[in-house]
Every structure is written in structure tokens, then in C-alpha cells.
């Protein structure tokens, strides 16, 4: 009986260690920085966003499924090892002004809202409210260098 518990504990520890190593490996496979310039917008209204993938994954400890997602029955089922698609594969509405007039379904598919809701509202502003001294950008120019506020 004691031998069985030991084997179970060792197996669980191995799974945890393997999972942690896999997360570090996956984060290392992506470029350190990613310039977000979707093909959906041939001409940008603001400068492209340079996203620091390595910092977000390793230094800021943002879980991969905070950004990467596959929704089924209202739940994010994306897991490590699943394909990473570009955001505009699913978020195909290119409206950049007047988003408030979009239907609820269009809002889900709107690329600008997807970026702003996920990054700005659900992360940066939330972090800033919790930690006012945080460097998380919450203005246009914070993510889009040179943008007017």
C-alpha cells in the first residue's frame, strides 16, 4: 500500500514537472516580440502594436490561455499544444470606428474589440486598478507609439 502511494506521488510530481517544462518550452518557441499588424487592416489608423510575448509569458506570468483561445459551449478549451491561430482568423469584423453600433454577434467577431477587450480591459486596466504603480499601458499611445490620445 505504501509503495503504491509513493509511486502515485512520484508520477504526479513527474506530470507537474513535465507540464511546467512544456510551458517554458512553448513560450520559448514564440518570438520574443510580435508585431501585431493584422492583414484584415491593410492600412492602420494607429501604429502597429509590438507585443512582448516573452515578457508576458515569463516575466509577467500571463497564462497562455489568457490570450490563446478556442471557445466551445462558452468555455475556453484551448490547451498547451493546440494550434495558435492569428486573431483575425476568427475575429473577422474589421470595423474600427462605430463599434458601439455593432450587433452583439458582430462585437464578438470584431478584431479591434477583441484586442481591446482582452488586452486593455481584461488585463491592463484591471491590473492598474489593483496595482496603480503598474506599468501596464492603458492609453492609446501606451500600446500604439505616436498615437494621439
Q: One digit per residue, pLDDT tens: the chain, 149 residues?
A: 576 665 555 555 555 555 444 444 444 478 999 999 999 999 999 999 999 999 999 999 999 999 999 999 999 999 999 999 999 999 999 999 999 999 999 999 999 999 999 999 999 999 999 999 999 999 999 999 988 87
Q: What does the pLDDT read at residue 147? A: 82
pTM for the model: 0.75
Where are the alpha helices (H) located in 30-139, listed in sequence order? 53-54, 104-109, 111-115, 126-130
Cα–Cα dist 124/32, whole Å? 20
For domain 32-143, the CATH class is alpha beta
Which phi-psi region, left, alpha or beta, contains residue 58 (left: φ > 0; alpha: ψ -120 to 50)? Answer: alpha
In the chain, where are the structural domains located? 1-30, 32-143
What are the b/e assignments for 13-25, b being 16+ CB within 10 Å? eeeeeeeeeeeee
Amino acid at each position: 500500500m505504501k509503495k503504491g502511494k509513493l509511486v502515485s506521488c512520484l508520477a504526479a510530481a513527474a506530470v507537474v514537472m513535465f507540464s511546467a517544462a512544456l510551458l517554458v518550452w512553448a513560450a520559448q518557441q514564440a518570438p520574443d516580440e510580435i508585431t501585431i499588424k493584422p492583414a484584415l487592416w491593410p492600412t492602420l489608423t494607429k501604429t502597429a502594436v509590438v507585443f512582448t510575448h516573452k515578457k508576458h509569458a515569463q516575466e509577467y506570468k500571463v497564462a497562455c490561455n489568457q490570450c490563446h483561445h478556442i471557445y466551445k459551449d462558452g468555455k475556453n478549451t484551448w490547451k498547451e499544444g493546440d494550434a495558435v491561430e492569428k486573431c483575425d482568423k476568427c475575429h473577422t469584423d474589421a470595423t474600427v470606428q462605430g463599434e458601439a453600433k455593432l450587433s452583439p454577434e458582430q462585437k464578438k467577431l470584431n478584431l479591434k474589440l477583441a484586442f481591446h477587450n482582452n488586452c486593455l480591459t481584461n488585463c491592463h486596466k484591471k491590473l492598474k486598478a489593483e496595482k496603480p504603480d503598474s506599468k501596464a499601458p492603458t492609453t492609446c499611445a501606451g500600446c500604439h507609439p505616436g498615437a494621439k490620445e
